[in-house]
Amino acid sequence: GRILGVDFGTHRIGLAVSDSQGRIAFPEGTLQRRGERHDLDTLCALVKERNVSGIVLGLPLHMDGRRGPEAQAAEKFAAGLGAATGGPVEMLDERWTTVEAERSLREAGRKGRKRREVIDSVAATLLLRTFLERRENLADRA
């Protein structure tokens, strides 16, 4: 089934959705945060509309692996999202995805707010792609 990738931020949530086989990640834009209830309702609607069977949410750890307030906020949001959708929400260490998103967009030369929104969506796409590749690799080894 389709997997939803979520890049959880303070102001925006970057989104990506896989194809129905769960192999390829596509950017799905961003969601401006408007409070947890509203954000969860919007994501629940997306899960239903796109027939999503699993969710992966980025866990923003410090480079040395410590959990800061951002990671705690992401874990809390993941728990709320799991309860709201009734489906599994997996966490994936996202230490490298946003860095890669920033670099690929700097090379593309986008500026301003639009650029930040694109970065969030690209970060979600990279997060989802990493998750799908890891899952594929594990399946190959099994």
pLDDT digits (tens, 9 = 90+) for 56-93: 999 988 878 888 898 999 999 999 999 999 999 999 98
Lowest mean pLDDT, pick from 87-96, 98-107, 127-136 = 98-107
User: Per-residue pLDDT for 28 more than 70?
Assistant: yes
Q: What residues are paired with 93 via a beta bridge?
A: 59
CA distances from 118 to 18, 90, 112 (A): 17, 23, 10
Lowest mean pLDDT, pick from 7-16, 40-49, 69-78, 96-105 = 96-105
What is residue 109's DSSP assignment? T
Burial 108-137 (b: 16+ CB within 10 A, else e): eeeeeeeebbbbbbbbbbbbbbbbbeebee
Span 3-24, average pLDDT: 95
User: Per-residue pLDDT for 7 more than 90?
Assistant: yes
Q: Is the pTM of this model over 0.75?
A: yes
Span 10-26, average pLDDT: 95
Q: How many CA atoms lie within 13 A of 97 on its CB side?
A: 27
What is residue 18's DSSP assignment? E
Span 13-27, average pLDDT: 96
Q: In this structure, which amino acid lies at residue 5?
A: G
